[in-house]
């Protein structure tokens, strides 16, 4: 299998809340509003809830070889469309099938609220939920006769969890929905109920918090020499998917390197001197509730005749979601239009939020790559990267190891390898494929699968 590597200079999108000022004038201060610790429940969705959601979408539950039901549901073609593992429920929309015009924000919210209420997705606890982000997806159909009119078939809504009037960030506070003209077509749920702890919160002094901030910045600048610009500081609650929700300050910082390159960093500093658990996650680059509604220019294609099947897999639940979708859809559009000049057509036969098990066995799901990258001619990944791997969940989770990807060219769901196999892969991510001289590059001359 041939592979084509593209390194994308990833820029962390920041929304400036205020002008960057000196640390002394933007320092943390002790808050006078009520602040608590909260304990996360261990309760998960019931079998009745997960079966009901699957039935709502017409999915069939998969069985293991002994006939025991698995927490996986799919379609007759073998594609996985719903799974529920470790409290994380996902319904993966078939994005290429989205038709019509996306509903208004009010209509989409009513649909999402009704669905969440019907299946008990809002926990009965101290939390309140509001719309954090609304994202419209624009697609422009095209054929050999030319471009069609732009349409916006999908609206995605991310709900923001709030406690004590403060936003809650963390992997057990995730709730989002994808809605099109016919109703709800996808969702992500990982929510654990919160109950107040009786332990008091002893707040750090402002100079303690400022000193911790300075230490973190010093570490960042040692790794990436340059200057730091404070973009925002938010008093919030933070949870790591463990046992507790605790108060913290969330810092978003822009690092300007020696060559004027800009990268974004995010970190949390606990507010309490007596935190109920140590901060190990340290960051959570999910959706950002300060981002306004957006309509990214994202042309897509519905080709009439297929010569080349393209599959695109986009990192999910990321702060740069609009940018990611724009990259995927523009690549699709230009691929199609370029191919027509040579009398060929490119059809996007797959277009999914990315998940680990599209590539390798993960999260209790078997290797489904034969139905996804192994069933297209050209597989395009839009993700965050690290040496020899990319993430499918924001830039912190569900990493796919490139060394597990040798077998895709041998997959042939139809039984005819000359008809369907993966010929090329395109990675749009940073720091994933080394250039000669990079310390993680290794041997570039052996003719291996990742030889450059």
406 within a domain of the structure (yes/no): yes
Query: What average pLDDT score do residues 370-391 get?
Result: 84
| 207 and 68 in a common domain | no
Which two structure tokens, joined as six digits, stand for 182? 């016919």
| 305 and 434 in a common domain | yes
288 within a domain of the structure (yes/no): no
The answer to whether the CB of 450 falls within 8 A of the CB of 433 is yes
| 407 and 429 in a common domain | yes
Between residues 358 and 438, the one the model is more confident about: 358
| 427 and 443 in a common domain | yes
* Of the residues 228, 252, 270, the one at which a domain ends: 270
Which two structure tokens, joined as six digits, stand for 228? 């730091």
| 351 and 323 in a common domain | yes
CA separation for the pair 346, 142 (Å, rounded): 11
Starting at the edge strand that comes first in sequence, how are the strands of the sheet with 378-382 ordered? Answer: 4-7, 424-429, 378-382, 308-314, 346-353
354 within a domain of the structure (yes/no): yes
4-30 b/e (C-beta count within 10 Å ≥ 16 → b): ebeebebebebeeeeeeeeeeeeebee
279 within a domain of the structure (yes/no): no
Closest CA to 33 of 233, 205, 201: 201
| Residue linked to tokens 């007596």 | 274
pTM: 0.63
Task: Please provide the DSSP assignment of 261-273 as one string.
Answer: -EEEEEEEEESBS
| 52 and 182 in a common domain | yes
Closest CA to 289 of 237, 243, 246, 353: 237
CA separation for the pair 284, 238 (Å, rounded): 9
| 112 and 150 in a common domain | yes
| 428 and 392 in a common domain | yes
Q: What percentage of the chain carries pLDDT values higher than 90? A: 27
Looking up residue 127, the CATH number of its domain turns out to be: 3.30.310
| 339 and 249 in a common domain | no
Query: What is the total count of domains within the chain?
Result: 3
Q: Residue 420's domain spans which residues? A: 1-10+297-452
| 192 and 60 in a common domain | yes
* Of the residues 196, 231, 253, the one at which a domain ends: 196
The answer to whether the CB of 72 falls within 8 A of the CB of 58 is no
| 183 and 51 in a common domain | yes
Q: What percentage of the chain carries pLDDT values higher than 70? A: 72
What angle is formed at CA 286 by the lines to CA 188 and CA 92, rounded to 5 degrees?
Answer: 25
Tell me: the pLDDT tens digits for 237-285? 999 888 999 999 999 888 888 777 777 778 899 999 999 998 775 555 4
* Of the residues 138, 167, 196, the one at which a domain ends: 196
The answer to whether the CB of 27 falls within 8 A of the CB of 210 is yes
Looking up residue 337, the CATH number of its domain turns out to be: 3.40.50
CA separation for the pair 35, 200 (Å, rounded): 9
In this prediction, residue 45 carries a pLDDT of 87
83 within a domain of the structure (yes/no): yes
Least confidently predicted of 25-39, 97-111, 199-213:
25-39
Q: How confident is the model at residue 365 (pLDDT cuts 50, 70, 90)?
A: confident
Tell me: the pLDDT tens digits for 130-186? 988 887 776 655 545 555 666 788 888 889 999 999 999 988 998 999 999 889 999
Least confidently predicted of 57-71, 103-117, 214-228, 307-321:
307-321
281 within a domain of the structure (yes/no): no
436 within a domain of the structure (yes/no): yes
| 188 and 65 in a common domain | yes
285 within a domain of the structure (yes/no): no
Tell me: the pLDDT tens digits for 275-314? 999 877 555 544 343 233 333 333 333 333 457 888 889 8
Which two structure tokens, joined as six digits, stand for 448? 């291996």
């Amino acid at each position: 299998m041939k592979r084509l590597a593209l390194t994308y200079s990833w820029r962390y999108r920041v929304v400036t809340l205020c002008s960057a000022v000196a640390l002394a004038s933007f320092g943390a201060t002790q808050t006078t509003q009520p602040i608590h610790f909260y304990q996360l429940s261990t309760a998960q969705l019931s079998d009745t809830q997960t079966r009901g959601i699957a039935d709502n979408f017409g999915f069939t539950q998969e069985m293991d070889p002994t006939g025991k039901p698995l927490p996986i549901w799919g379609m007759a073609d073998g594609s996985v469309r719903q799974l529920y593992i470790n409290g994380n429920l996902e319904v993966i929309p078939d994005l290429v099938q989205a038709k019509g015009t996306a509903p208004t924000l009010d209509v989409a919210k009513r649909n999402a609220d009704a669905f969440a209420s019907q299946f008990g997705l809002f926990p009965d606890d101290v939390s309140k939920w509001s719309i954090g982000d609304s994202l419209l997806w624009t697609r422009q159909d095209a054929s050999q006769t030319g471009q069609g009119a732009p349409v916006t078939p999908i609206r995605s809504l991310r709900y923001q969890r709030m406690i004590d009037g403060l936003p809650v960030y963390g992997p057990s506070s995730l709730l989002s929905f994808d809605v099109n003209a016919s109703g709800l077509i996808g969702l992500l749920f990982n929510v654990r109920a919160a109950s107040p702890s009786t332990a008091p919160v002893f707040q750090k002094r402002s100079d303690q918090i400022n000193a911790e901030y300075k230490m973190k910045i010093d570490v960042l600048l040692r790794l990436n020499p340059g200057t730091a610009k404070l973009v925002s500081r938010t008093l919030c609650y933070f949870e790591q998917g463990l046992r507790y929700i605790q108060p913290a300050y969330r810092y978003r910082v822009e690092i300007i390197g020696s060559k004027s390159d800009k990268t974004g960093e995010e970190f949390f500093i606990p507010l309490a001197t007596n935190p109920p658990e140590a901060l190990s996650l340290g960051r959570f680059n999910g959706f950002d509730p300060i981002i306004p509604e957006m309509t990214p220019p994202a042309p897509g294609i519905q080709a009439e005749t297929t010569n080349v099947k393209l599959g695109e897999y986009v990192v999910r639940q990321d702060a740069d979601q609009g940018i990611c979708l724009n990259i995927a859809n523009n690549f699709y559009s230009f691929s199609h239009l370029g191919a027509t000049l040579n009398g060929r057509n490119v059809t996007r036969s797959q277009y999914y939020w990315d998940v680990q098990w599209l590539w390798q066995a993960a999260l209790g799901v078997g290797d489904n790559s034969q139905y996804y990258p192994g069933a297209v001619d050209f597989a395009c990944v839009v993700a965050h990267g690290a040496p020899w791997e990319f993430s499918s969940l924001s830039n912190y989770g569900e990493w796919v190891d490139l060394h597990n990807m040798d077998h895709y060219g041998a997959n042939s769901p139809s039984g005819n390898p000359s008809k369907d196999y993966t010929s090329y892969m395109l990675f749009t991510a940073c720091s994933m494929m080394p250039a000669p001289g990079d310390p993680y590059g290794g041997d570039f001359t052996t003719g291996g699968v990742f030889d450059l």
